[in-house]
Amino acid sequence: MRAFDHRSPLFVLCSGLTMALPVPALAELQSLDDAAMSSISGQTGITLELDLNAQMDRLSYFDDGSGIHLENVRIGSATDASGGAFHKIDIDIDSNGYLNLDYLVEDRRIEFSDVTLDGASALSMGGMYFDHNLEGTLSLSPGGTLSADGYTFDSAWTLTEGRIGYRTNGNEVFLDNLAMTVSAPGVTMDAVDGGLLFTAPSITGSYSIGAIRYSDNPLNHGVSTDVSSGQQLPSYGSISGDFDLSSETTVGGGGRSGEGLRIDHSAVINSANFIYLDDGNPFALKGITGYYSLDDLRIDVTNDWTGRAALALTAGSLSGELNVERVELGAAGNSLGAVNVSFLFQDHVFAGTSYTNALYLQGGGHPDAGPQGLRVAAQWSLPQASVSYTEDGNQVIFSGLQSWGQGDITVNVTRDETLNGTRFYDGLRIGFEGLKGGYRLNGLKVGDDEAPLQGGTELLLALGFYPAYEFELDGHITLGAGGASGEGLTINSDIQIRNGRAALLAEPYDEGNGEVAQQGIWVTELDYDMHLRDMTVDVTSEGLAIIKGEAWSTMDVGNLRVGDKTAGASFGRFVLQSYETGSAMTIKPGGAGTVCAGGVGDDATTCAASGGVWEDRGSEGVTVSMKQVLAKAVDETRRNAITWESNRQLDGEGNPLNDTGMKLVLNDIHTSDGGDFDGDGIDDNTFGIQTDISVDVYQTRVVKKTDGPDSQGVEGAAGDEKIMDASEPAGYRYVASPTATEIESRPLGFAVQAQSRFKELNINSIDLVHPTGGAQTAIYGVKMQNFDIQANLTATPMP
């Protein structure tokens, strides 16, 4: 064996191993007995074998006098709480002076029971554990990327039988049967101004998670089957994937103020794939490429903006782009299309308020769930982002996405029970407290980034998507394990939105001359209560299936405004109440397919004869099938009703007072199948309102409505067709009778085909309500039967 000095790779490694040993192992020097000596050999190197079982009461990190603490830390056996984990390390130096390690770790658990902070020691962020077997190699040689004074690491390892769990108040969620293989040759470490630079030219690997499980039994701790019942714990599903990336990371000292840690990190994703399986049915993101850059991340033990003790992660900026070549859904592997997301998170001023990007991690979670949990005081600022969707080679871009906000997010693993008056459900509970924020879109672009802004987002209102939304949010979403059958999700949720503003239609906020106040049609002074019980989400052989158990909501719109969202003219107040049981939605790959636009016909000949245009919109796209079962009223909260109130009295500041005007009320709206077909004495209600919406990006026929120049100065006669032509100054021209070649250059549009139908829709009564005289029924019952409504709409830029 060779002698070594303080600059040698072996000295660096031994120093690192010494620092990594548990504290009890460093307490004193002891002579090795014969049994210990027998496990060490030194023929062509050193072989170390040991069973490690180490514990410490607390492991602490201090920053400017404030501490964060890992409580009850243990490294030992994953299957025996009092046993040790087997370690074997072969250490050798080859003829080139390179230090080589082969290592094997079996049955190891690394865990801690709590994470606490100075100033809030009674509250914990919860505990975590990591079980695994690990086998790999590490080679350390002199010389880095920047100079000979650095080091180069060649590493490869395989992890098997892994579990990573998060535990609060006796409940846990964990990744089960985790396996991972990683190869990272040529990683270098260099000293640079302010820290250490790690350069990884190639990191490749694959991973799989056999199941994501949930347990509500405090006796369970990192086991796949319940120790009381012997049954397998429920699963959210399984995950697998692979990756090929390169990265640069600089780690240095110094927090946002005083001591702390600074990290700058960037990576290029050369390729990656991600697959989620639900009972064998896949949702897959394939052909992932992109990059991201995280600049000036600071980690501090400090206080948040309200003075609460926290571990702070504050970022200067986060930017990047992510491309997904194919989004596949269902057993057949059919594609929804391709997706591209670009983003820039950085400090920005929205509506006169400055926002940054910061997470303040605190202990406690929801106060009624118990002392363990995670609370995150969050602030975000997204001044620039876009999302594009490409199907069959045609692209639509949701351009100019901005978002901002601030508030608390809580995380707890909960069980089905009521504590201190708060109802909890089985699963991972994500809570929202005082979360105030919003988002807005500048508009759509069809084709590429150079295309003009246009409308079209209003075509997605049926799916609950608004082009702009501001809100104050409280409530929770609890994600339970297991779907309608087998794996999947079960969701219980209670959400309250206060002082909201949502756009039904909105013009761009920036058409190239700077930001302006958006004009449109707005629901303002919005209070919205939404409740979900036992909604299941499953990936099936056809697509994504969502089944609502019971859902009810009340949307109270203080003003329906036109123009400006704060001062626009108002139609009055609207209150929409909804109550559904057994409603469902399925998202399937593939759009409308063949369509007769503007006519009627099942083939090109009959379509043309009716004056329509026959279109084959390709195999990609998205179809959403919805079934809304409107249930009969149960009480004043669980019912379907629409109220319009106008001519309200005003307060001293000129604001309208609710319940002081005249109301028109459509009471107890509900669907029916039109009879009692199962013989239980009650009219059946299973068909509901069924709506199919198919979304594509496709060419369409656009006809000029008037003679003369349009708003872009392009001449044409009424009836002429718009044809795209890059040689023209405006990018298009008008043609009276386009040729077959010119028809191929029709403008692209955001195309939505919809069909809605129901067997029977009932309105129990239509009432007029006077503020002092009370309610008078104007119509005693309305019944509509056998409706079938079809629409085919395509949004293109307006010239």
Give the DSSP per-residue string, 178-233: EEEEEEEEEEEEEEETTEEEEEEEEEEEEEEEEEEEEE--TT-SS-SB-TTT-PBP
Q: Distance between CA atoms of 796 and 704, rounded to whole angstroms? A: 13
Q: Distance between CA atoms of 465 and 695, rounded to whole angstroms? A: 14
pLDDT, average across residues 20-34: 45
Provide the β-strand partners of residue 678: none
pLDDT, average across residues 427-453: 92
Q: Render 481-541 in DSSP notation, one character per residue.
A: E--SSSSSEEEEEEEEEEEEEEEEEE--S-SSS-----EEEEEEEEEEEEEEEEEEEEE-S
For residue 44, name the pLDDT band (cuts at 50, 70, 90): low
Please report, as a single letter, which amino acid is at residue 168. Answer: T
The residue that leads in pLDDT, 125 or 34, is: 125
Provide the β-strand partners of residue 627: 584, 690
Residue 42 token pair: 């030194």
Residue 15 has pLDDT above 50, yes or no: no
Residue 649 has pLDDT above 60, yes or no: yes
To 5 degrees, how large is the angle CA 127–CA 131–CA 133? 160
Is residue 409 within a helix (H) or strand (E), and if so which, with residue range? strand 402-414
- As a whole number, the mean pLDDT across the chain is 92
CA distances from 761 to 13, 56, 583, 628, 640 (A): 75, 67, 15, 11, 12
Residue 1 has pLDDT above 80, yes or no: no
With 0-12 CB in 10 A as exposed, 13-18 as middle and 19+ as buried, what is 429? buried
E runs forming strands in 565-628: 569-570, 573-581, 584-589, 594-597, 613-616, 622-628
Q: Which of 539, 589, 485 has the alpha carbon at shortest distance from 278?
A: 539
In the prediction, which pLDDT does 96 show? 85
Q: In the chain, how many H helices and how many E strands?
A: 4, 46
For residue 456, name the pLDDT band (cuts at 50, 70, 90): confident
Residues 6+ apart with CB under 8 A from 470: 437, 438, 500, 501, 502
For residue 447, name the pLDDT band (cuts at 50, 70, 90): confident
For residue 796, name the pLDDT band (cuts at 50, 70, 90): confident
Residues 6+ apart with CB under 8 A from 543: 329, 330, 586, 587, 588, 589
Residues in the chain: 799
DSSP state, residue 469 = E
Residue 11 has pLDDT above 60, yes or no: no
**Residue holding tokens 């997904």?**
324
Residue 29 token pair: 């020097």
How many CB atoms sit inside 10 A of residue 425's CB? Answer: 21
Residue 629 has pLDDT above 60, yes or no: yes
Residue 213 token pair: 């499980």
Residue 754 token pair: 């919809």
Q: Distance between CA atoms of 428 and 479, rounded to whole angstroms? A: 5
**Residue holding tokens 């702070």?**
312
Q: Distance between CA atoms of 390 and 693, rounded to whole angstroms? A: 18
Q: Distance between CA atoms of 444 and 397, rounded to whole angstroms? A: 6
Please report, as a single letter, which amino acid is at residue 459. Answer: L
Buried b / exposed e along 317-356 (16+ C-beta atoms within 10 A): bbbbebbbbbbbbbeeebbbbbbbbbbbbbebebeeeebb
What would the pLDDT profile of 495-521 be if each residue is shown by its tens digit? 999 999 999 999 999 988 899 999 999
In the prediction, which pLDDT does 13 show? 45
**Residue holding tokens 């079980």?**
131
**Residue holding tokens 């958006």?**
518
Q: What is the CA radius of gyration of the chain?
A: 31
In the prediction, which pLDDT does 9 show? 45
What would the pLDDT profile of 154-192 be if each residue is shown by its tens digit? 999 999 999 999 999 999 999 999 999 999 999 999 999
175, 215 contact by CB (below 8 A): no
Residue 196 token pair: 């250490």
Q: Which of 429, 301, 435 has the alpha carbon at shortest distance from 362?
A: 301
For residue 31, name the pLDDT band (cuts at 50, 70, 90): low
For residue 5, name the pLDDT band (cuts at 50, 70, 90): very low
Residue 8 has pLDDT above 80, yes or no: no
Residue 30 has pLDDT above 70, yes or no: no
What would the pLDDT profile of 115-146 be if each residue is shown by its tens digit? 999 989 999 999 999 999 999 999 999 999 99
Output the CA torsion sign for 721, 725, 728, 731: positive
What would the pLDDT profile of 524-568 be if each residue is shown by its tens digit? 999 999 999 999 999 999 999 999 999 999 999 999 999 999 999
The residue that leads in pLDDT, 614 or 235, is: 235
In the prediction, which pLDDT does 357 show? 98
* Backbone phi and psi for residue 268, each to the nearest 5 degrees, phi listed first: -115, 125
Q: Distance between CA atoms of 725 and 731, rounded to whole angstroms? A: 5
In the prediction, which pLDDT does 301 show? 96
Provide the β-strand partners of residue 613: 597
Q: Distance between CA atoms of 154 and 202, rounded to whole angstroms? A: 10
For residue 18, name the pLDDT band (cuts at 50, 70, 90): very low
Q: Which of 247, 244, 261, 176 has the alpha carbon at shortest distance from 213?
A: 176
For 591, the 3-state DSSP assignment is coil
241, 274 contact by CB (below 8 A): yes
Percent of the chain's residues with pLDDT above 90: 81
In terms of DSSP H, where are the helices of 677-794?
Answer: 740-743
Task: Give Dmax over CA atoms of the chain in angstroms.
Answer: 103
Residue 36 has pLDDT above 60, yes or no: no
Q: Distance between CA atoms of 507 and 436, rounded to whole angstroms? A: 23
**Residue holding tokens 């003790």?**
309
Residue 399 token pair: 């351009």
Is residue 606 within a helix (H) or strand (E), and if so which, with residue range? helix 604-609
To 5 degrees, how large is the angle CA 607–CA 609–CA 614? 25
Q: Which of 408, 337, 402 has the alpha carbon at shortest distance from 366?
A: 408
What would the pLDDT profile of 350-396 be if each residue is shown by its tens digit? 999 999 999 999 999 999 999 999 999 999 999 999 999 999 999 99
The residue that leads in pLDDT, 433 or 608, is: 433
In the prediction, which pLDDT does 29 show? 44
CA distances from 365 to 23, 117, 410, 422, 731 (A): 31, 14, 5, 13, 56
With 0-12 CB in 10 A as exposed, 13-18 as middle and 19+ as buried, what is 677? exposed
